[in-house]
Amino acid sequence: MFGYYLDLALRSLRRHMVLGVLMMLAIALGIGASVTMLAVLHNLSGNPLPGRSDVLFHPQVDPRPEDLPGAKDEPPDDLAYVDAVNLYRLGIAPRRAVMSGNWLPVRKDAPDSPLAMYTDRATTADFFAMFGVPFLYGSAWSAQDDAGHAQVVVLSRAMNQQLFGGGDSVGKTLVIATKTFRVAGVIDDWNPQPHFYDLNDGAFGKAEQMYLPFFTWLDLPQDYGYGPMDCWGNDPNAGAHDPKAKQCTWAQFWVQLDTPAQVADYRAALVQYSTQQHQLGRFQRAPNVRLRGLLDWLDHKHVIPVTVRMQTWIAFSVLLICLVNTVGLMVAKFLRKAGEIGVRRALGASRRDVFAQCLVEAGVVGVAGGLLGLPLAWLGLWMVRQQPVNFAASAHLDPSMLGVALALAVLSALGAGLWPAWRASRVAPALQVKSL
């Protein structure tokens, strides 16, 4: 029966080409717009590290004074230097990394080589293993390098290309902020989106160009700051140049905890640490700690830009209007063949048969609209990528979104066809046949 209905639907669409094309266009436009925004949303709310996100946690402690005006209950996102170092040395997590970033003047280790600024991430050895960073050449530096303030650097693939023309440059040297560094490794393209481990400069954007050992980086003679600092108290200038100031938070800290027991232990350790600091008089507040998992952290920070949410709403209102339009056109279309339906009914087709036949026709329109909508969505995503916003680069259509687009198209066409089909099935056969 389905095959016969399909044949009827195609015939009917061919007979009333204009109405059919208009319906398809309406559905295609609606699907194009909404799938574009769904794909953007899907990409933005994606998991930056699938497979590892379950074991990564973001500890926070609260070193703020008791009576800070306008302070919320939520502890600062980042850690003060003292806490960062103390938690780094705590060592009960299987892996942990302290980090921050800025940009530094870099040149090749040759006389008169040109200077350029490169962005960096200053961190500790576990960073690479903990976040699963893929290496092209060499490897991460070791914990001994961290402890010994070794002058080693891990380059991104792009920076290795720019400075050394690609290739295995492990062991080569370069000058960063007047100090000579040895290349320990080169990583492959790696840029998790959202940029979960440091959201201070926005959640979406480019990856760092090089990676330096955190404590070596702190020693560097440079005046490019230590990442965005959040300071409190009466001395607003205190943190401007002193990363070790007690009243400034700026360092990110991440730990890997593999089992629920480890998570519970780590949480208890954070509370214990806060209590201890409270007793020492450094923390004024009662222990106020957080230990969010990676995805909880992203959720808490509302990383999806407000404009994207708004654009998604707009896209779905476009779809709604397109569907109302389609319903109208379908009513017109089905009523136009009232005579035909009357004949079918008179020859013994039940209302159900007519209803099913009309729905099949609606479904065909949906499939066609969806197929036409896919290139439109692709075009829409291309337009999003041309937008000068930093999350734009991640806007792509993946296979699962293709399926979603087609399903959405067919479902909306069926939804739009439901009521027109029901009306068509109510056509009184006698009246139609009489007027033939």
Partner 1 sequence: MHFRHILSALGRHRIAVCLLVLEIAFSCAVVCNALFLIGTRLERMHRPTGVDEPHLVQVDVHSVTPGTAEALMAQTRTDLATLRALPGVTGVAIVNQTLFGDSIGFSGVSLSDDPKAPSIPVTQYMGSAQLAGVLGLKLAAGRWFRPDEFIGYEQLRNGATGVPVIITRAMAGHFFPGQSAVGKTIHAFGTNRVVGVVDRLVQPRDYGPAEYYGYAMLFPVEMPYPGGTYLVRVKDPAQRQAVIQGALRALKADGPLRLVSPKYATTLEAERGKYYRNDRAMAWLLAGVCLLLLVVTAVGIVGLTSFWVAQRRRQIGIRRAVGATRGDILRYFQAENFLLATFGIALGMLLAYGLNLLLMLHYELGRLPAYYFPVGAAVLWGLGQLAVLGPALRASRVPPVVATRSA
- Amino acid letter for position 313: W
Interaction between residue 241 and partner 1 (CB under 8 A): yes
Q: Determine the distance from the C-alpha atom of residue 265 to the mean position of all C-alpha atoms in its chain, rounded to a whole number.
A: 30
Query: Looking at beta carbons only, is 264 or 320 nearer to partner 1?
Result: 320
* Residues 200-229 interacting with partner 1 (rule: CB under 8 A): 221-224
Provide, rounded to whole angstroms, the least separation between the CB of residue 215 and partner 1: 19
Interaction between residue 387 and partner 1 (CB under 8 A): yes
Give the count of beta carbons closer than 10 Å to the beta carbon of residue 381: 22
Provide, rounded to whole angstroms, the least separation between the CB of residue 129 and partner 1: 32
The interface region with partner 1, picked from 182-190, 209-217, 263-271, 310-318 by CB under 8 A, is 310-318
With residue 104 as reference, give the H or E element that holds it.
strand 95-108
Task: Using CB under 8 A, pick the residue from 6, 271, 318, 371 that binds partner 1.
Answer: 318
The interface region with partner 1, picked from 136-144, 147-155, 280-288, 313-321 by CB under 8 A, is 313-321
Number of residues forming the site for partner 1 (CB under 8 A): 53
In this structure, what token pair is assigned to residue 352? 């159900």
In this structure, what token pair is assigned to residue 209? 């160009």
Distance between CA 245 and CA 109 in Å, rounded?
34
In this structure, what token pair is assigned to residue 269? 């350790």
Query: Looking at beta carbons only, is 99 or 106 nearer to partner 1?
Result: 106
* Residues 324-383 interacting with partner 1 (rule: CB under 8 A): 324-325, 327-329, 331-333, 335-336
Token look-up 């979406």 returns: 204
Task: Using CB under 8 A, pick the residue from 17, 89, 234, 352 that binds partner 1.
Answer: 234
Task: Using CB under 8 A, pick the residue from 69, 91, 111, 260 that binds partner 1.
Answer: 69
Query: Looking at beta carbons only, is 102 or 274 nearer to partner 1?
Result: 102
CB 70 within 8 Å of CB 412:
no
Interaction between residue 433 and partner 1 (CB under 8 A): no
Interaction between residue 389 and partner 1 (CB under 8 A): yes
Question: 154: helix, coil or strand?
Answer: strand
Angle 163-166-167 (CA atoms, 0-180°, nearest 5)?
125
Q: How many CA atoms lie within 13 A of 186 on its CB side?
A: 19
Query: Looking at beta carbons only, is 175 or 349 nearer to partner 1?
Result: 175
Instruction: Using the Cα atoms of residue 41, residue 392, residue 161 and residue 208 in order, give the sign of their dihedral.
Output: negative
Closest CA to 77 of 263, 308, 251: 251
Euclidean distance between the first and the last CA atom of the chain, given in angstroms as a whole number: 27
Closest CA to 80 of 230, 195, 212, 281: 230
Interaction between residue 423 and partner 1 (CB under 8 A): yes
Q: Determine the distance from the C-alpha atom of residue 90 to the mean position of all C-alpha atoms in its chain, rounded to a whole number.
A: 32
Task: Using CB under 8 A, pick the residue from 47, 161, 173, 311 that binds partner 1.
Answer: 311
Interaction between residue 426 and partner 1 (CB under 8 A): no
**Mask 25-44, x = binds partner 1 (CB under 8 A)?**
xx--xx--x-----------
Distance between CA 329 and CA 23 in Å, rounded?
7
Provide, rounded to whole angstroms, the least separation between the CB of residue 200 and partner 1: 12
Footprint on this chain of partner 1 (rule: CB under 8 A): 18-19, 22-23, 25-26, 29-30, 33, 67, 69, 105, 115-117, 177-178, 221-224, 233-234, 236-237, 240-241, 306-307, 310-311, 314-315, 317-318, 320-322, 324-325, 327-329, 331-333, 335-336, 387-389, 423, 435
